[in-house]
Amino acid sequence: MDRLGRFVCRRDAADPQRWEYRRELVMGDRAAVTARLAPDGWEPCGAWVMYQWYKRPLAASIGPAAAIPAPPPAPGRSSFFSRRFYLMLGAVPVVLEIVALVAYVNSGDAAESAGVVVGGLVGAAAGGLAVFAYGAWQNRSR
């Protein structure tokens, strides 16, 4: 785990291994659960609210068959979001903008509403462009 409590996986290039994982409900007794599992080779590798994840080398269960002859290469990116996530990321601001504009248009003066509609659309486009530019800049810097 890193200093923020996130699960981090780094493969030892000299001796790559397979791991097995388990999740335990700790409910405030994290140290006791960790002490109970330690003799079997389980070590903490992540935590979230009342759950603790543990890992141990698969060789502890199945022996030498757990060895990895040639480990796969490291992935080229660090985050893996689905197409559905990106679709939602684009659709939510559009839906919120439409709802806000419809509510504002129905509330008053037509001339003032037209200005708000145009301003909202320009602002949404500028915000979307800024997010896109930041993502492109992040990808380019890797």
pLDDT in tens, 77-119: 777 788 898 889 888 888 887 887 787 777 776 666 777 777 8
Q: Are residues 4 and 66 part of one domain?
A: yes
Number of structural domains the chain divides into? 2
- Which of 49, 74, 99 marks a domain boundary? 74
6 pLDDT band, cuts 50/70/90, is low
Q: What is the mean pLDDT of the chain?
A: 82
Q: Are residues 65 and 96 part of one domain?
A: no
Q: Are residues 59 and 37 part of one domain?
A: yes
Q: CB under 8 Å to 8, separation ≥6 — which residues?
A: 1, 2
**Helix (H) and strand (E) counts for the chain?**
4, 3
Q: Are residues 132 and 95 part of one domain?
A: yes
Q: Are residues 60 and 105 part of one domain?
A: no
Q: Which residue range is the domain that position 64 belongs to?
A: 1-74
Distance CA 44, CA 34 (A): 7
User: Residue 54 above 80 pLDDT?
Assistant: yes
Distance CA 115, CA 125 (A): 15
User: Residue 15 above 80 pLDDT?
Assistant: no
- Which of 74, 99, 127 marks a domain boundary? 74
Q: Are residues 43 and 60 part of one domain?
A: yes
Residue 22's pLDDT is 94
9-18, 20-29, 58-67, 84-93: segment of lowest average pLDDT: 9-18
Distance CA 112, CA 130 (A): 27
Residue among 15, 16, 11, 50 nearest 30 (CA): 50
Q: What are phi and psi of 67, to 5 degrees?
A: -65, 145
